Amino acid sequence: MRLINGNRICIILILSMVFTGCVTSTQKLPDFLPADGNKIPGDAQLAATAILIRLNGMEPAAGADISFEKEAADHLKTPLFGTGKFILTGHRLFQYSRRPEGRPGRLVAGQMDLKDISGRRAKVNYITEYDLTDSGFVILAAEVQPAYATNPTVESYLVPVKAFEKEMTDSPPTWEGLYLLAKRLNVLPVQNTAQGRESMDYILFTFCMDQTAPSANAVLRLAKKKSPNRGYGFSKASSYLNFNGWIVATAAGTFPAAPEKDFWVKLVLSPGKEAESSRPRIIFQEDLGKMAQK
């Protein structure tokens, strides 16, 4: 795949953080986690949101009365998602208790579901200690660990090579730039006509929409038939980009967008040693002819 310079595609990501159920230093922290798991205490929600702001490479807004002790700030010093900006879409707690040895504040552990404006997803486990003081809400300690996907959702797009080379301008490419461009230039679905059956130079893009582990590995295969065999299919035309765990697998070739014969697209993922399961698996397998009619 050849990338050329041209007009730059500008992607503006808007991060919207809404603080609901915020607490102040004059309020009392709950003693226990409510029986209803959906009713997360406001202080725990605020702590998670503050951590997420740091993971996005940002700082709490001035006047927010939220601060980080050095230990917590050091653990959250490096943005977790590169240049991406993620918002909170789901939140569950594993622990909500008083801090050890009777110290003031709370010890909280939980998991955040995150999503960016392009639809990429991530999960992050965290543990934090915090307190309410006269000077505001203080994150005393915090650690995070991504919960990597073992079976990520896959989106696929078929793009004419000429159109892609003409409009691809990001150098080096970014995940957002590739995704938005492939989605815009996608020719699927197509009518099963002579034009749709005509062979052209295409690039097939497959995007893993969930964050995978650093050691994860993907193989994109093209095959004449569907097969549960992970090693079945041609992969020499495939190439790969990995953006902080969001894998983009491509295959370039000359073929029709609406092939009359079976033309199977298969993506095999080895989730990596950092994931809960490292067993290789087929995460996507579809016939291009049927994809063309969707």
In the chain, at which residue ranges do the beta strands (DSSP E only) sit? 66-68, 86-98, 106-116, 121-133, 136-146, 154-160, 199-208, 217-223, 238-243, 246-256, 264-270, 281-287
The Cα-based distances of 245 to 49, 89, 218, 242 in angstroms read: 22, 19, 11, 6
Order of strands across the sheet with 264-270?
217-223, 264-270, 281-287
pLDDT, tens digit, 9 for 90 and up, residues 252-269: 999 888 887 889 999 999
Highest mean pLDDT out of 33-37, 159-163, 224-228:
159-163
* DSSP-derived 3-state class of residue 134: coil
Q: How confident is the model at residue 78 (pLDDT cuts 50, 70, 90)?
A: confident
The C-alpha atoms of residue 135 and residue 294 are separated, in whole angstroms, by 57
The C-alpha atoms of residue 162 and residue 176 are separated, in whole angstroms, by 20
- The length of the chain is 294
Answer for the pair 142, 72: CB distance below 8 angstroms, yes or no.
yes
pLDDT of residue 137: 87
Q: How confident is the model at residue 64 (pLDDT cuts 50, 70, 90)?
A: confident
pLDDT of residue 125: 95
Please state which CATH number belongs to domain 42-146.
Answer: 3.10.450
pLDDT, tens digit, 9 for 90 and up, residues 198-254: 889 999 999 999 999 999 999 999 999 999 999 999 999 899 999 999 999 999 999
pLDDT of residue 32: 61
Q: Peptide bond before 259: cis, by omega within 30 degrees of 0?
A: no
Name every residue whose Cβ is closer than 8 Å to that of residue 90 and which is 6 or more positions away in sequence: 112, 113
Phi, then psi, of 72 in degrees rounded to 5: -65, -45
Q: How confident is the model at residue 90 (pLDDT cuts 50, 70, 90)?
A: very high
Residue 145 has pLDDT above 90, yes or no: yes
Residue 35 has pLDDT above 70, yes or no: no
Answer for the pair 148, 245: CB distance below 8 angstroms, yes or no.
yes
pLDDT of residue 19: 35
Mean pLDDT, range 102-118, rounded to an integer: 90
DSSP class of residue 102 equals: G
Name every residue whose Cβ is closer than 8 Å to that of residue 83 and which is 6 or more positions away in sequence: 174
Mean pLDDT for the chain?
A: 83
Structure tokens at 222: 């093209």
Structure tokens at 236: 């020499």
Q: Which of 179, 181, 245 is nearest to 206 (CA)?
A: 179
The C-alpha atoms of residue 44 and residue 226 are separated, in whole angstroms, by 48
Residue 109 has pLDDT above 60, yes or no: yes
Name every residue whose Cβ is closer than 8 Å to that of residue 123 and which is 6 or more positions away in sequence: 111, 112, 113, 114, 146, 147, 148, 149, 211
- Tokens 């996608």 — which residue? 186
Q: Which of 100, 141, 148, 145 is nearest to 126 (CA)?
A: 145
Q: How confident is the model at residue 31 (pLDDT cuts 50, 70, 90)?
A: low
Percentage with pLDDT > 70 across the chain: 84
Neighbours of 235 (CB within 10 A): 15
CA atoms within 13 A on the CB side of 175: 27
The C-alpha atoms of residue 43 and residue 181 are separated, in whole angstroms, by 40
Phi, then psi, of 123 in degrees rounded to 5: -125, 140
Question: For the chain, where do the domains classified as CATH 3.10.450 start and end?
Answer: 42-146
pLDDT, tens digit, 9 for 90 and up, residues 190-207: 766 666 778 899 999 999
The C-alpha atoms of residue 56 and residue 41 are separated, in whole angstroms, by 23
Highest mean pLDDT out of 97-101, 164-168, 203-207:
203-207
